[in-house]
Amino acid sequence: MKINVGIDLGTTYSAVATFSKELGRVQVLKNGYGKDCTPSVICIDHGNIMVGEDAKEEQKSGNVNTAAFYKSMMGDPNWSAYIDGREYSAEELSGLYLAHLIQDVKESNHVDIDGAVITVPAYFNDKQREATIRAGKKAGLKVLKIINEPTSAIIAYGLTGGKEKNVLVYDLGGGTFDVTVAHVSGTRIDVLATNGNHQLGGKDWDETLLNQVKEQFYSEYGVSIEDHEEDLKELQVKCEEAKKLLSSVASTVITIQCDGYLGKYTVTREEFDDQTYSLLYETILLIKSCFDEISEARNRPFGWKDIDEVVLVGGSTRMPQVKDMILKEYGRPPITKDINVDTIVATGAAMQAELCVSNTITLTVAGPAAGAAKTGGAAPSSPITLTIRNSDIQDITAHSLGMLALASDEKSYINSIIIRKNSKVNETFSREYTFAGQKLQVYVLQGEARDPYECDIIGAYSITGMPKNNKNKIKVNFLYNSNGVVEVNACLSDGTVLSATREKTNETLSEIIARLEREKKEAEEEAKRRSKIEIMLMIDTSGSMSGDRIVEARRAAKEFVKALDLKHSFISVISFADASQYKCKWENKEWSLNSAIDSVNVNDVGYCNAETPIQNNYKKFSRDCSRVIVILTDGYWDDQQTEERAATAAKADGIIIYGIGIGDADEAFLERISSGKGKKVDLSELTATFKEVATSIATEVGGNTLR
């Protein structure tokens, strides 16, 4: 039989459960040892893989080829464990662990497993969620969904069909802490706020004991247990056991055997509670910031008084200090009856798995009166059935999503927030950009800070496929999908879908920012370069230009100069016939240009058109600017072929050529040497034509970009 399961992939213990349609409730699937929970420990010894109890035994006996607590390192490219002769990432270890756990559960329960919902701490970021999905796939599972552990606990605990209530889930596991506040009404769950620390859990309480006895051993024998890896592994397990004992007894003894010495140290609950208060206090602060966030969103105070029920989840909530703290802060004890802190997360995940495949589940629960009985109300009533839809569960995101953007001072980069923390998942948020290029790059960040260095960079997205040479209006859409994983897509304002691909990059944030700064500087320099224009104004002064033609040519040239933006335009006036003669070079004062134009005379350089002015002058431009040649001629040139070849080369080099003809000019030749259309006009239109060319230079060549 193929079943779908919920998996609580815990830092220290994992559990697998499935929803039974027949029974209308969840069944926890036991492991080969008949236990609900399996230690999240893996041992790889000479290629032989062991997980769970067997691996924990190996860890206890000091086998260095064991790994534990790798969950909090999920998605961290800089972390690996060296086991059995090679490095393993947390994702690989989780994948191997899951594969073996599932195999064990399958064999022990005589079932075949198809799909799985895997739980993650609500505070897991994008990278950690994606790594968890990949680990599930590596284990051969069809990953139906990734769900937040506290939300999962609320699904399992809260859906009683009863009246409206605000539930606070305090989830302190082995390696992570999450606090989540949700509004539950009948079969509907709306998560209001979530906070956490994915590096805070029971292991930190273990470590406090470890540090204490380790120091005592060192001061007694001068031996550092850190130097003895096998003994250290063993001591870690002993400290966890002692911590668990301290939940029910006032004191216990931890023994250390190392380097031939034996140390026995008594640890007391009172001392332990004192030493770990700062850890507990951190959880109180995170609860308070949850309340603050809800207050801010509602614009009215929200606090302990608004909480109807506190639910404890996670093995570490067995420590009396947790219950004492809740009692002190809340004024009432937390709900503990009917809740199995170890399996409640897997139970909710199993319900979610069934919701994923069937969209609804029918649950048999104790009647609402029984719910009240949990808090000391009326007597239990007979069981009722509840129908829950997938859409009844609305989760939120634990991290704000932003993008790397230039600050308004244009000097520094910030995290410009697009989706605020505690926003609903599956809701799209958009940003619009006017963009002229062909590739828009968006760097997506996760975190609350304005300073991008305090955030996680989760991806570089390239948006391409926009039409060329256009100021496109691009809408970029950002979304946290139902797995809490970020999705980015883009379209044009008319709805045309653009391609948005996540680029594989190993660049760090500081490398990205350094590159963006470099690119920005280059673009500014390019704009500056492009804003300078050099123009060669070539006027035919062969014999045929005498009379009205040269007079009109001078008038048109002066109007041309007047219409130009002389702040950025530098002009050489060239008289040509059988040779070229510069009347001025790269001049930008109007009076000086006018006097150069006045000095343009027929027969300056011969009587005929033997000159090829483009060929002989186009290499005399500066390189770092826009370059334009404007030629006025009234006749055929002797060597059109050479000139055409030169014009082709000049244009290929980026030089823009305007050919203007009057009188007997060869229009077809002008067409061939010009960049756009060559033009032959009546003498009376010459001034207007030159003015048009000046306007065209300003708009097409971009000489006014700096203004």
Ligand X SMILES: Nc1ncnc2c1ncn2[C@@H]1O[C@H](COP(=O)(O)OP(=O)(O)OP(=O)(O)O)[C@@H](O)[C@H]1O
3-state class (DSSP) for residue 540? strand
Binding segment for Mg ion (CB under 5 A), chosen from 48-56, 171-179, 287-295, 651-659, is 171-179
Residue nearest to Mg ion (CB): 173
Question: What is the length of the chain?
Answer: 707
202 binds, among ligand X, Mg ion, none (CB under 5 to 8 A by kind): ligand X
Q: Toward Mg ion, which CB reaches closer, 50 or 153?
A: 153
Rounded least distance, CB 214 to ligand X, Å: 18
- CB atoms closer than 10 angstroms to residue 37: 22
Q: Toward ligand X, which CB reaches closer, 322 or 370?
A: 322
247 binds, among ligand X, Mg ion, none (CB under 5 to 8 A by kind): ligand X
Q: Toward Mg ion, which CB reaches closer, 12 or 187?
A: 12
- ∠ CA(551), CA(557), CA(562), 5° rounding? 130
150 binds, among ligand X, Mg ion, none (CB under 5 to 8 A by kind): none
Q: Toward ligand X, which CB reaches closer, 171 or 534?
A: 171
Rounded least distance, CB 8 to Mg ion, Å: 6
H or E element: which one contains 321? helix 320-330
Rounded least distance, CB 125 to ligand X, Å: 15
Query: If you ran DSSP here, which 8-state letter would residue 564 be given?
Result: S
Q: Toward ligand X, which CB reaches closer, 310 or 650?
A: 310
Count of residues in contact with Mg ion, rule CB under 5 A: 2
Binding-residue pattern over the window 465 to 504 for Mg ion, x denoting contact by CB under 5 A: ----------------------------------------
Rounded least distance, CB 36 to ligand X, Å: 10
Binding segment for Mg ion (CB under 5 A), chosen from 6-14, 70-78, 431-439, 661-669, is 6-14
The interface with Mg ion within residues 118-157 (CB under 5 A) comprises: none
3-state class (DSSP) for residue 384? strand
Of 444, 430, 455, 431, residue with least CA distance to 402: 444
Is 10 a binding residue for Mg ion by CB under 5 A? The answer is yes
Binding segment for Mg ion (CB under 5 A), chosen from 7-15, 433-441, 616-624, 674-682, is 7-15
Q: Toward Mg ion, which CB reaches closer, 173 or 196?
A: 173
Q: Is 584 left (phi over 0), alpha (psi -120 to 50) or beta?
A: beta
243 binds, among ligand X, Mg ion, none (CB under 5 to 8 A by kind): ligand X
Q: Toward ligand X, which CB reaches closer, 177 or 658?
A: 177
Pairing of strands 626-633, 142-148: unpaired
319 binds, among ligand X, Mg ion, none (CB under 5 to 8 A by kind): ligand X
Q: Toward ligand X, which CB reaches closer, 134 or 183?
A: 134
User: Do the Cβ atoms of 592 and 584 come closer than 8 Å?
Assistant: yes
Rounded least distance, CB 62 to ligand X, Å: 19
Q: Toward ligand X, which CB reaches closer, 318 or 568?
A: 318
Is 173 a binding residue for Mg ion by CB under 5 A? The answer is yes
Of 150, 318, 191, 203, residue with least CA distance to 249: 318
> Can you give the C-alpha Rg of the chain in angstroms?
38
Hey, what are 502's tokens?
A: 């996540």
The alpha carbon of 671 is separated from its chain's Cα centroid by a whole number of angstroms, namely: 52
Contacts of 482 (CB under 8 A, 6+ apart): 145, 395, 425, 426
User: Do the Cβ atoms of 256 and 212 come closer than 8 Å?
Assistant: no
How far are the Cα atoms of 230, 442, 443, 486, 507 from residue 459, in angstroms, in the given order?
A: 40, 8, 6, 9, 10
Binding segment for Mg ion (CB under 5 A), chosen from 36-44, 105-113, 173-181, 510-518, is 173-181
Distance CA 577, CA 158 (A): 95
25 binds, among Mg ion, ligand X, none (CB under 5 to 8 A by kind): none
Rounded least distance, CB 313 to ligand X, Å: 7
Rounded least distance, CB 315 to Mg ion, Å: 8
DSSP string, 622-653: -SSSEEEEEEEE-S--TTHHHHHHHHHHHHHT
Rounded least distance, CB 323 to ligand X, Å: 11
Hey, what are 607's tokens?
A: 């009587």
Rounded least distance, CB 245 to ligand X, Å: 8
Distance CA 673, CA 650 (A): 10
Rounded least distance, CB 279 to ligand X, Å: 12
Q: Toward Mg ion, which CB reaches closer, 95 or 315?
A: 315
H or E element: which one contains 406? strand 401-406
Q: Toward ligand X, which CB reaches closer, 173 or 348?
A: 173
3-state class (DSSP) for residue 457? strand
170 binds, among Mg ion, ligand X, none (CB under 5 to 8 A by kind): none
- Interface residues with ligand X (CB under 6 A) are 8, 10-13, 40, 71, 149, 173-176, 201-203, 240, 243-244, 247, 314-316, 318-319, 342
Query: If you ran DSSP here, which 8-state letter would residue 397 be given?
Result: -
For the beta sheet containing 66-67, the strands, ordered from the edge strand earlier in sequence to the opposite edge, are 48-51, 42-45, 66-67
Distance CA 197, CA 326 (A): 18
Q: Toward ligand X, which CB reaches closer, 145 or 318?
A: 318
Rounded least distance, CB 203 to ligand X, Å: 6
Rounded least distance, CB 492 to ligand X, Å: 44
201 binds, among Mg ion, ligand X, none (CB under 5 to 8 A by kind): ligand X
DSSP string, 239-280: HHHHHHHTTTSSEEEEEEEETTEEEEEEEEHHHHHHHTHHHH
Chain contacts with Mg ion (rule: CB under 5 A): 10, 173
